[in-house]
Chains A and B, each alone.
Chain A
Amino acid sequence: MADPMKIRAALNGDVVEVKALMAHPMETGLRKGSDGKLVPAHYIETVKVACNGREVLSADWGPAVSKNPFLALRFKGGKAGDKVSITWTDSAGESRTDEVAIG
């Protein structure tokens, strides 16, 4: 099981700014390990961000997103206390969901 994401959701006026840091190796499948063999590809393929169940962003990623990915977005229609949840699914079929209340 992957480590939890670090998520922050802050309300500025009527805009909610979400910043997230995910724990993931994001292996491209092109890198050689210390044994000289290729490390198999393993990266996040989809990310979905929702606010109280309403989707506010969906992303498709390739292996070129940096290790331990950072993502920030801004959306309208959220208020303090609403739950922002982020779900990622990777190329190995693993997934993780974390949520935070808008502060």
Chain B
Amino acid sequence: MTVDAGPRPDTGSPRAHLLQVADTDHAQRVGTAAWLDRELAFGAKVFYKGWLGDAGRVEKHWIAGPESSRRTREALRSGQLEFLDFPELIARCEQGGDGLTAGLHRLQVEELERALGEGWPSVAMTQESSRRECADDAEIAEFGRQEGGYDALAARAPLRILCQLTTSVENERHVFESLGVHHRHVADVGWRAELDDERWALHGDLDAHVAQRFGGALAGALREKSTGADLQLDLSDVGFVDVACAQLLVLAARAEPECRRIVLHDPPRLLKRLLDVLGRPASIVVVDGDRP
């Protein structure tokens, strides 16, 4: 079950934009309910984008029912929490005639400015798993631009974003690319990742169950680095890494240009043994000393 139990991130921090990964709708709701309750408790205006389905009524959505907190249900009534159905969101975004991504950015800016204009101290936005096909590179690039719009807004305003990824409703490519786009802050089942001070910090256990997702995030972290810049990986809070995930590290390092290294800070002892067994390439550098 995925619940981001860390401190509320500062505005402008890379951690302000979180991808929450869950295997099932139920697990996703548990994590989202906790996130919503916290944002509402801090007085944020919350914009929720999701699927209403055939019923078309927010009263039928889980956030209006017992799975959410009383604070959330009251916020829905008072207007502190606004819900927008995905089909309506798409229709609004396409009204401008300049494409879905531009329309989405425009809508996000409008929501943010309206909320701040109404005097809310901060703003929070969340959206359910989008069920995007990610069928080709063009669609993936558009996906990246849309998420980049959130990052641009979060860098200049008191905004926190929760993107929900429910793996049971998305295809494998969507899951992989979504982790890559959101690698700066991920809360997954059993592990999470945060980018702080140019160091990508991983926490928890990395095993075969999450290997594909870890691989997506790792690919995103490497993609973001400019040529020649090393990827600094803080593993001091990682408890377990299995063969599948260690193999991903080795394969990623081998695929990188020679000038780039993957620097592992304080990896678990067993990971070092695993890397030796798998044939650690010279581009994987181990630095010990920070682990408490």
Partners in one complex: no
